[in-house]
């Protein structure tokens, strides 16, 4: 039988890790209450990454870094761009302070504003937001590459039939070739189409740098992430290659633009992926349905409207028109792909807002109930 002294000593002794566990719980609780949008955004990224690894494991294909640069040198430019935007934002704020009467030199005031605004918390939040976007894109590229390796059945012929039905018996691409020509417009539309890729990085970096509140910047990041996720779902739901791959004769008369070079590269990568999908670090994939060129640009349009930037809303709308034309002109997509892309862009912004503001649906519900009560009271009066 243990002595009382020993009993007391046993009770007083606690596991050495209990204090660390308790502190970790407190830290996580504080993080969840202060920065819930970080948990939801990073959590969404982790779920999508796990999905990517599970699918890859099922078919025996490892998850790879696209072109071997996404997690390397391709990360450098957007990060440097974000730093540049942050400095420009600090310079603008410093200029406003000087207009209010400050006599501090502009350069010194700009640097002090930068340090005050980008102290470690905002820097960590911006880094986590950018990494969430990057790793979601990494999973998207790999899952897109897996599509043709999983019981691939192309719906291109059905899409071509729908295209002709929607165009009253004509091929939409041929109609555009006849109307716009295959000379100067081909090069102009090629530039518009390919500018989409760098513009995404520019807008992500700008949102993280210029937004007054980091939570609002996360709305942009989460909306872009949902574009990749919903786009991936559409690729698996209705796998297609697009008109340029399923009916190349329609595009034989187009000049050798950079778009044409990209299409040939994607076709070669796809063949290489199928011939040796384990031995080399290849991430390929051609997917028509739905058009994420349209989806992403439409999402940006609705985001600019959400941020109340009317000039950028109109600029995005202007950019959307030639982007939509180029997707059909070069045979990247069918008409239905573009319509689905518009829907994905709109839904992505709704889901992005709900990801950053999880209580948004409850607010909408309360707003609807309040509106109903207001109408009822008005009717009684």
What pLDDT digit, counting tens, does each position of 105-134 carry?
888 888 888 888 887 788 888 888 888 998
228 contacts 307 by C-beta, under 8 angstroms: no
Q: Identify whether 26 is part of a domain.
A: no
Joined tokens for residue 311: 């000039």
Expressed as residue numbers, the domain containing 221 is 36-369
Q: Identify whether 10 is part of a domain.
A: no
Percent of the chain with pLDDT over 90: 21
Quickly state the pLDDT bin for 342 (edges 50, 70, 90).
very high
Q: Identify whether 133 is part of a domain.
A: yes
Q: What is the pLDDT of residue 222?
A: 94
Give which of 324, 335, 329 is closest to 289, Cα–Cα: 335
Domain count across the chain: 1
Quickly state the pLDDT bin for 178 (edges 50, 70, 90).
confident
Q: Identify whether 123 is part of a domain.
A: yes
Look up residue 183 and give its DSSP letter: S
Helices (H), the chain: 4-12, 18-34, 36-59, 76-99, 106-117, 120-146, 156-166, 172-180, 184-210, 214-237, 243-246, 258-275, 292-306, 310-329, 335-356, 360-380
Burial of 305 (0-12, 13-18, 19+ CB in 10 A): middle
Whether 185 shows a pLDDT value over 60: the answer reads: yes
Q: What is the pLDDT of residue 146?
A: 83
Quickly state the pLDDT bin for 294 (edges 50, 70, 90).
very high
Quick check: helix, strand or coil at residue 70?
coil
Look up residue 168 and give its DSSP letter: T
Q: What is the pLDDT of residue 341?
A: 93
Q: Identify whether 152 is part of a domain.
A: yes
Q: Identify whether 224 is part of a domain.
A: yes
Residue 40: partners with Cβ closer than 8 Å, 6 or more residues away = 222, 355, 356, 358
d(CA 285, CA 248): 17
Q: Identify whether 30 is part of a domain.
A: no
Q: Identify whether 1 is part of a domain.
A: no
What pLDDT digit, counting tens, does each position of 369-379 carry?
443 343 333 33
Range with the poorest average pLDDT among 14-18, 65-69, 154-158, 368-372: 368-372
């Amino acid at each position: 039988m243990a002595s009382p002294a020993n009993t007391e000593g046993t009770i007083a002794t606690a596991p050495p890790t209990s204090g660390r566990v308790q502190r970790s719980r407190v830290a996580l609780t504080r993080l969840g209450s202060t920065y819930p949008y970080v948990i939801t955004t990073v959590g969404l990224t982790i779920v999508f990454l796990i999905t990517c690894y599970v699918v890859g494991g099922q078919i025996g294909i490892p998850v790879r870094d696209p072109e071997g640069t996404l997690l390397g040198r391709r990360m450098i430019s957007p990060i440097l761009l974000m730093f540049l935007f942050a400095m420009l934002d600090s310079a603008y704020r410093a200029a406003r302070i000087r207009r209010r009467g400050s006599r501090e030199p502009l350069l010194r005031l700009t640097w002090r504003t930068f340090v005050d605004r980008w102290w470690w918390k905002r820097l960590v939040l911006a880094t986590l937001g950018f990494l969430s976007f990057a790793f979601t894109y990494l999973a998207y590229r790999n899952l897109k590459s897996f599509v043709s390796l999983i019981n691939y059945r192309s719906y291109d012929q059905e899409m071509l039939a729908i295209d002709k039905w929607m165009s009253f018996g004509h091929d939409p691409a041929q109609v555009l070739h006849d109307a716009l020509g295959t000379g100067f417009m081909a090069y102009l539309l090629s530039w518009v189409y390919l500018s989409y890729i760098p513009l995404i990085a520019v807008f992500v970096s700008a949102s993280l740098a210029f937004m007054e509140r980091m939570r609002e910047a996360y709305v942009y990041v989460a909306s872009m992430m949902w574009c990749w996720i919903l786009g991936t779902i559409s690729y698996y739901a209705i796998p297609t290659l697009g008109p340029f791959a399923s009916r190349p004769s329609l595009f034989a008369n187009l000049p050798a633009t950079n778009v044409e070079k990209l299409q040939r590269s994607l076709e070669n990568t796809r063949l290489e992926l199928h011939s040796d999908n384990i031995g080399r670090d290849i991430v390929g994939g051609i997917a028509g349905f739905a058009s994420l060129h349209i989806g992403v640009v439409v999402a940006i349009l609705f985001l600019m409207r959400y941020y109340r930037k009317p000039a950028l809303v109109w600029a995005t709308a202007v950019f959307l028109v030639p982007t939509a034309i180029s997707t059909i002109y070069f045979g990247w997509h069918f008409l239905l792909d573009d319509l689905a892309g518009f829907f994905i862009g709109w839904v992505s912004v709704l889901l992005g807002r709900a990801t950053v503001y999880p209580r948004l649906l409850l607010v909408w519900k309360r707003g609807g109930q309040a509106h109903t009560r207001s109408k009822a009271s008005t009717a009684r009066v």
